[in-house]
Amino acid sequence: MLHTLSYELDLPQNRNIQIKLPDSIKTGKHHIVLVIDENEDQPDNFQQLLNTTKGLWQQGDGLAYQYALRNDWE
């Protein structure tokens, strides 16, 4: 069985981390993969993304533009 766990943390200066796995993970040999996502440009939340991109679309009503595109597809 494959389990996916996601943790968010502040990595300390010594770069040591300790992970407590849930009791549902069986003991014994396992293959563990650690992925480090260093994308600092990623917004912390949706509201920050909205604030950052506010005013970029300057060509009229964006919603009307989307509707027109959808009508072209049909």
DSSP 10-63: ---TT--------TTSPSS-----------TTS-SSHHHHHHHHTT---SS-HH
**What pLDDT, on a 0 to 100 scale, did the predictor assign at position 41?**
62
Q: Which tens digit of pLDDT belongs to each residue from 5-54?
A: 888 888 899 999 999 999 999 999 999 998 888 776 655 688 888 888 88
Mean pLDDT computed over 53-73: 84
pLDDT for residue 56 is more than 90: no
**Which tokens go with 36?**
């480090």
**What pLDDT, on a 0 to 100 scale, did the predictor assign at position 13?**
93
- Measured CA to CA, the distance from residue 49 to residue 38 in angstroms comes to 18
CA angle, corner 36, sides to 34 and 39, nearest 5? 160
**What pLDDT, on a 0 to 100 scale, did the predictor assign at position 6?**
86
Instruction: Answer yes or no: pTM beyond 0.85.
Output: no
